[in-house]
Amino acid sequence: MRKTDKKIENQIREVLTEVCEDTLKSYDGFLWVTHTVKYSSFPESLNIICVFETVQDRAKFLSGEGPYHVSIVIQKAFEKVGVQLKKVDKQISYDVKTG
């Protein structure tokens, strides 16, 4: 991993930790946030995955204001560190814990 990649990774981790803490307080069944990224095309390649305990927890979240709220929180958190996510809604997915 190049030095610039490591810097980007640390920045992503810091921002998503903040997002995770906010989301944990707000939504039942929410567990964590993870991500994938191709550093050479960051921030466009960033994919954020919000993980829930059960299918029901995810469904309840998706049927309410959850996705809107989380996308705003993520966008604002990245803007604080000078990163603009142009297609934030397309960069976030919602999954269920397996195993």
pTM here?
0.92
| Inter-residue contact 72 to 22 (CB < 8 Å) | no
The residues facing 33 across adjacent strands are 50
Burial class of residue 73, CB neighbours in 10 A (0-12, 13-18, 19+): middle
99 has pLDDT over 80: no
Q: How far apart are CA 39 and CA 8, in angstroms?
A: 7
pLDDT in tens, 34-85: 999 999 999 999 999 999 999 999 999 999 999 999 999 999 999 999 999 9
Of 99 and 23, which is predicted with more confidence? 23
Q: What was the pLDDT predicted at 22?
A: 86
Q: What was the pLDDT predicted at 52?
A: 97
| pLDDT bracket for residue 1 (50, 70, 90) | confident
| Inter-residue contact 22 to 71 (CB < 8 Å) | no
Q: How far apart are CA 9 and CA 1, in angstroms?
A: 10
